[in-house]
């Protein structure tokens, strides 16, 4: 491997991401040599960098500190474990029964008082949203969509309206707000699919990023495919691609 | 996994995890911080560690995620100021101990200024020497995307290096 032509070929392969680990080792060894030809010298630092940086070690990191911390954790774990054994079986039965009763009362009260009001409120909000969306000014529509964000519950029609805004509104801020509102609502109906589809159709970088964030916050693994497609797009901005890579990382980890 | 096993299987990875953290976070304090967090997390998950094919791959994944999270929250806090701060505080500080030559400093700086994804790929492949299969397991990326990303990162690093090196020679 002393022939320069071979080395040049390897360098080219390296920059194309095609070298094997062994070939990369060969390059590193070659550049450690003393008589590097002049025309290859500008490559030297790049191949010697790993040797230099690999001498770093975590010597300031104290194992003792770590184990002190870990042991404290597992000790406190043991204390908690011991407690249940000292209390009698009966007390626990009572406690469980009380908890169950409390939850049931909660559901009953909640059901009694909230459903009726909720439906009416959503209908009212939807009507307001729709009339405001007729507004020709972007700020008017922005306000309309922002109002929705505050409502926790929502119905199918609301989702459809927001989806339509996200796809069709000419103003990017309005679209972004609609995306945020949809992300808040959660995994209902077609939201995830619409967001994934919109990701590939949207061309405004800021809106693309908003969609990526929304998909991450929904923890939607099925969005990975769309994100991967986005990273392969030719005219997608680098920052957007970075965000998409980050999204893929996060979603795969969940 | 008991403490003894943790000491023989996980703890020896610390230098490598520390290097990954320092390349990603560009700060000694933050890297030490991240390493602590990662070790505690691995200890918490010690029961699950057995289920992973490779403890090392899992440890690298946890480290990578911790670093990306830290970078993300930092970005939110400082936004664009970050780059200026880094300039001021001197890029080489995490590598000060190493006594690098002037031209190697230029190279390291070129590497440091790559976007975090590219920095991660260079760190895992060129600095730590992982195989494509291992990197795929650690990052969840497809091997093809790893090759493309690496190619871009290597070219970008060289370009940035030449820019400064040429300038200094003139």
Report the percent of chain A where pLDDT is more than 90: 17
ipTM comes to 0.87
CATH number of B100-170: 1.10.10.10
Is the pLDDT assigned to residue B93 strictly greater than 80? no
Domain boundaries of chain A, sorted by first residue: 4-53, 91-253
* Domain A91-253 indexed as CATH 1.10.1740.10: no
Per-residue model confidence (pLDDT) at position B117: 94
What global pTM score does this model have?
0.56
Q: Across the interface, do B36 and A69 touch by the CB < 8 Å criterion?
A: yes
The answer to whether A51 contacts chain B (CB < 8 Å) is: no
- Specify the pLDDT at position B155: 97
* Residue A242 touches chain B, beta carbons under 8 Å: yes
Contacts of B149 in chain A (CB under 8 A): 17
Render pLDDT for A125-152 as a digit per residue (tens, 0 to 9). 777 777 777 776 777 777 777 777 555 5
Q: Does domain B1-89 have CATH number 1.10.1740?
A: yes
Q: What Cα–Cα distance (Å) separates residue B131 from each residue in A13, A14, A22, B57? A: 16, 14, 10, 11
Query: For A3-41, what is each residue's pLDDT tens digit?
Result: 788 999 999 999 999 999 999 999 999 999 988 999 999
* Size of the A and B interface in Cβ pairs below 8 Å: 120
* Interchain proximity A66–B15, CB inside 8 Å: no
Would you state the pLDDT for residue B170? 55
CA distance A200 to A183: 17
Residue to substitute from A20, A44, A45, interface B, most B β-carbons within 10 A: A45
Sequence ranges of chain B with CATH classification 1.10.1740:
1-89
Tell me: pLDDT of B87 over 80.
Answer: no
Q: Where in chain B is the domain with CATH 1.10.10.10?
A: 100-170
Distance (Å, whole) CA B158 – CA A162 = 47
Q: By CA distance, what is A69's nearest residue in B? A: B40
Contact B97 A14 (CB under 8 A): no
Residues B107, A24: C-beta atoms closer than 8 Å: no
**A56 vs B107: CB contact, 8 Å cut-off?**
no
User: What confidence score (pLDDT) does residue A178 get?
Assistant: 84
Q: Which residues of B16-36 are buried (b: 16+ CB within 10 A; e: fewer)?
A: bbbbbbbbbbbbbebbbebbb
């Amino acid at each position: 491997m002393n022939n320069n032509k071979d080395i040049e070929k390897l360098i080219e392969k390296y920059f194309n991401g095609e070298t094997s680990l062994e070939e990369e080792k060969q390059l590193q060894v070659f550049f450690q040599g003393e008589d590097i030809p002049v025309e290859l010298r500008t490559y030297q630092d790049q191949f010697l960098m790993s040797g230099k940086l690999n001498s770093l070690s975590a010597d300031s990191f104290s194992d003792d500190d770590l184990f002190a911390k870990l042991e404290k954790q597992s000790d406190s774990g043991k204390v908690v474990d011991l407690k249940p054994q000292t209390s009698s079986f009966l007390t626990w039965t009572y406690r469980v029964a009380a908890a169950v009763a409390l939850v049931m009362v909660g559901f009953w009260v909640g059901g009694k008082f909230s459903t009726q009001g909720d439906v009416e409120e959503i209908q009212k909000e939807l009507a307001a949203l729709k009339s405001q969306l007729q507004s020709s000014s972007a700020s008017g529509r922005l306000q309309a969509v922002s109002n929705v964000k505050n409502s926790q519950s929502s119905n199918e029609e609301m989702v459809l309206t927001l989806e339509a805004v996200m796809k069709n509104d000419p103003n990017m801020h309005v679209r972004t707000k609609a995306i945020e509102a949809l992300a808040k609502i959660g995994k209902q109906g077609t939201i995830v699919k619409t967001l994934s589809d919109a990701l590939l159709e949207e061309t405004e970088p800021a809106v693309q990023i908003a969609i990526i964030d929304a998909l991450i916050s929904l923890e939607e693994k099925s969005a990975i495919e769309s994100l991967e497609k986005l990273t392969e797009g030719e005219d997608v901005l680098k920052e957007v691609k970075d965000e998409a890579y980050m999204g893929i990382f996060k979603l795969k980890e969940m | 996994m008991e403490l003894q096993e943790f000491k023989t299987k996980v703890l020896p990875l610390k230098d490598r995890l520390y290097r990954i953290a320092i390349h990603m976070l560009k700060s000694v304090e933050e890297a030490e911080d991240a390493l602590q967090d990662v070790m505690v997390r691995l200890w918490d998950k010690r029961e699950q560690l057995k289920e992973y094919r490779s403890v090392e791959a899992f440890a690298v994944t946890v480290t990578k995620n911790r670093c990306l999270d830290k970078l993300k929250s930092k970005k939110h806090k400082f936004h664009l100021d970050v780059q200026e701060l880094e300039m001021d505080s001197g890029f080489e500080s995490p590598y000060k101990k190493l006594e690098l030559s002037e031209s190697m400093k230029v190279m390291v700086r070129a590497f440091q200024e790559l976007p975090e994804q590219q920095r991660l790929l260079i760190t895992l492949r060129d600095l730590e020497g992982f195989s494509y299969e291992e990197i795929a397991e650690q990052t969840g990326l497809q091997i093809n995307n790893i090759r493309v990303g690496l190619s871009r990162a290597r070219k970008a690093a060289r370009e940035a290096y030449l820019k400064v090196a040429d300038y200094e020679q003139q």
